[in-house]
């Protein structure tokens, strides 16, 4: 296994003391310190979501979990692209902001100069005049995550990404393939060399434990290149000495626990459940279950439907909102007309852009209800664009239909005239013109019932003063 320096790549990976660890008998952590300048590693993007109770499902998932974690993943990717910045003061700007821009991630030098995540750019620059600010490039980060998942998918099919730079792997049943847990972890880390440069892989932390929480705590306590492995018999003892800030609960709950001088999971585990529930509600119950090792969250196979992607490249970079709105409409139409979308409504959509001079921009929205109507998809994206517009002129506009409603093979009886069903608009049926779908429906009903139970409304005497004389039903059998 690679024994790279924790400070590889010039990015802070471990500040000071850290935990002493060993493979089989993890010794007690002497001090818990944040492993990145951004101490909110527990509440990073997607962090809490990873521990949300999964929907009741059959016994899918893997009890044995491996957590891979690359702190400041996005900044590291940027530094791989721009190695000349490696040993300088660098800060990555937070994505999705247009007016009061803040710092998202900082390099070690910038951290030493007093720059912190969450600070306003003006504050950061006044603290560190030589600070290099980098625009975020979400498209690049997503592509890196996708590539990583693809490679890890060769080792285990049970993968669960949990925010940038962190992924859980289900390791059940891999012993026969790869040998001992050490070998399994080694195999996983080695596979990353196929997609990431060595310094990035060397900075990856790995934790192997029953359940995602144990694996996450183990990974967070690990040093780069030296994975921490926890077994059933050691888990509770290990957890008991972890700080309460490891819990994936509301930060306010953690803050209150610390104020009450409950600083470790062991201290928390001594409290009766009713007291914790009375104080903290569901978070209290969950916190106790994690602290005592009673709650083991299996790694669930992650499924992401293949998105439908369309893009539009402009001859000249475009900054005009009206032009972008027009392009968005065209893109939605093109995406909806793709055969891959047929029979499915859209529930999630993402709009992005490659920007002039590099960098990318994205907004994402979940639609209120599944739809395949252009305006209902475009309108929320326009609203998001108004709140967080592209920071620079757009070279290429990209649209992704990311989530879909349940597929349906049912076709409308009256609104689809042609066999292919590609035309979504309604058709005015000419006299005597019967759509094939309706003809097929009648045929099936006749087979089942003996004769057609469908009727057509016919005019008898439409101008009659007596209502029952005006129309009648005529049996329909084309």
Question: By the criterion CB under 8 A, which residues form the site for another protein?
Answer: 450-451, 453, 455, 457, 465-468, 470-475
Beta pairing, strands 455-459 & 360-371: unpaired
Give, as one character, the DSSP assignment of residue 434.
Answer: -
Q: How far is the CB of 408 from another protein (least distance, A)?
A: 31
Q: How far is the CB of 432 from another protein (least distance, A)?
A: 17
Please state, in angstroms and rounded to a whole number, the distance separating the CA atoms of residues 157 and 167: 13
Report the DSSP beta bridge partners of residue 229: 208
Q: How far is the CB of 335 from another protein (least distance, A)?
A: 44
Q: How far is the CB of 460 from another protein (least distance, A)?
A: 9
Which of 84/468 has CB closer to another protein?
468
CB-based contact 297:272 (threshold 8 Å): no
Which of 315/466 has CB closer to another protein?
466
Residue 118 CA, chain-centre distance (Å), reads 21
Which of 150/461 has CB closer to another protein?
461
CB-based contact 228:24 (threshold 8 Å): no
Which of 406/457 has CB closer to another protein?
457
Helix (H) or strand (E) holding 317: strand 308-318
Please state, in angstroms and rounded to a whole number, the distance separating the CA atoms of residues 478 and 442: 8
Q: Which residues neighbour 424 within 8 Å (Cβ) at sequence distance 6 or greater?
A: 336, 372, 415
Which of 272/467 has CB closer to another protein?
467
Which of 261/459 has CB closer to another protein?
459
Which of 373/458 has CB closer to another protein?
458
Q: How far is the CB of 457 from another protein (least distance, A)?
A: 7
Q: How far is the CB of 443 from another protein (least distance, A)?
A: 16
Q: How far is the CB of 442 from another protein (least distance, A)?
A: 14
Give, as one character, the DSSP assignment of residue 420.
Answer: S
CB-facing half-sphere around the CA of 390: CA atoms within 13 A: 31
Give, as one character, the DSSP assignment of residue 192.
Answer: G
Both tokens assigned to 283? 């978070």
Q: How far is the CB of 467 from another protein (least distance, A)?
A: 5
Q: Which residues neighbour 265 within 8 Å (Cβ) at sequence distance 6 or greater?
A: 239, 240, 241, 242, 243, 244, 246, 247, 290, 291
Which of 16/467 has CB closer to another protein?
467
Which of 409/447 has CB closer to another protein?
447
CB-based contact 264:243 (threshold 8 Å): yes
Which of 146/461 has CB closer to another protein?
461
Which of 321/464 has CB closer to another protein?
464
Q: How far is the CB of 292 from another protein (least distance, A)?
A: 58
Q: How far is the CB of 478 from another protein (least distance, A)?
A: 14
Please state, in angstroms and rounded to a whole number, the distance separating the CA atoms of residues 40 and 444: 61
Q: Which residues neighbour 39 within 8 Å (Cβ) at sequence distance 6 or greater?
A: 245
Question: Residue 166 phi/psi, 5° resolution?
Answer: -135, 135
Q: How far is the CB of 329 from another protein (least distance, A)?
A: 42
Which of 154/459 has CB closer to another protein?
459
For residue 111, which of 123, 95, 128 has the smallest C-alpha distance? 128
Question: Residue 145 phi/psi, 5° resolution?
Answer: -65, -45
Question: Residue 317 phi/psi, 5° resolution?
Answer: -55, 135
CB-based contact 92:79 (threshold 8 Å): no
For residue 354, which of 327, 309, 320, 393 has the smallest C-alpha distance? 393
Q: How far is the CB of 441 from another protein (least distance, A)?
A: 17
Residue 201 CA, chain-centre distance (Å), reads 22
For residue 478, which of 448, 451, 449, 459 has the smallest C-alpha distance? 451
């Amino acid at each position: 296994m690679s024994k790279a320096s924790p400070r590889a790549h010039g990015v802070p990976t471990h500040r000071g003391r850290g935990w002493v660890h060993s493979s089989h008998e993890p010794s007690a952590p002497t001090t818990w310190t944040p492993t990145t300048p951004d101490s909110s590693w527990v509440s990073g993007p997607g962090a809490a979501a990873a521990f949300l109770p999964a929907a009741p499902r059959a016994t899918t998932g893997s009890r044995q979990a491996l957590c891979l974690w690359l702190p400041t993943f996005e900044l590291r990717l940027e530094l791989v692209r721009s190695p000349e910045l490696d040993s300088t003061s660098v800060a990555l700007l937070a994505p999705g902001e247009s007016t009061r821009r803040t710092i998202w991630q900082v390099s070690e030098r910038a951290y030493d100069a007093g720059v912190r995540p969450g600070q306003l750019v003006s504050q950061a620059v006044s603290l560190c005049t030589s600070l290099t600010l980098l625009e975020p490039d979400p498209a690049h980060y997503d592509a890196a995550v996708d590539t990583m998942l693809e490679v890890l998918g060769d080792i285990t099919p049970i993968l669960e990404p949990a925010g940038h730079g962190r992924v859980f792997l289900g390791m059940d049943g891999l012993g026969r393939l790869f040998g001992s847990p050490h070998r399994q972890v080694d195999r996983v880390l080695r596979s990353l060399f196929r997609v990431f440069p060595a310094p990035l892989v060397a900075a990856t932390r790995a934790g192997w434990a029953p359940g995602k929480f144990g694996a996450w705590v183990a990974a967070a306590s690990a040093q780069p290149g030296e994975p921490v492995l926890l077994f059933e018999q050691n888990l509770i003892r290990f957890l008991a000495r972890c700080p309460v800030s490891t819990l994936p609960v509301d930060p306010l709950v953690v803050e209150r626990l610390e104020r009450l001088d409950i600083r470790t999971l062991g201290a928390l585990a001594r409290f009766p459940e009713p007291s914790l529930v009375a104080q903290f509600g569901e978070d209290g119950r969950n916190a106790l279950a994690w602290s005592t090792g009673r709650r083991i969250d299996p790694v669930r196979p992650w499924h992401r439907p293949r998105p439908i992607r369309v893009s539009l490249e402009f001859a000249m970079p475009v900054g005009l909102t009206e032009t972008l709105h027009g392009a968005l409409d065209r893109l939605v139409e093109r995406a909806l007309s793709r055969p891959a979308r047929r029979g499915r409504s859209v529930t999630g959509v993402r709009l992005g852009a490659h920007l002039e001079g590099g960098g990318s921009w994205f907004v994402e929205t979940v639609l209120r209800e599944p739809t395949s109507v252009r305006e209902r998809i475009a309108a929320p994206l326009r609203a998001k664009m108004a709140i967080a517009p592209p920071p620079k002129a757009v070279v290429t506009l990209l649209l992704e239909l990311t989530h879909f409603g349940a597929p349906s093979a049912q076709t409308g009886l009256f609104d689809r005239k042609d066999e292919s069903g590609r035309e979504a608009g309604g058709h005015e049926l000419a006299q005597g013109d019967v759509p094939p779908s309706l003809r097929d429906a009648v045929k099936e009903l006749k087979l089942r019932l003996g004769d057609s139970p469908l009727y057509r409304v016919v005019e008898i005497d439409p101008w009659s003063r007596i209502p029952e004389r005006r129309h009648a039903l005529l049996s329909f059998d084309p």
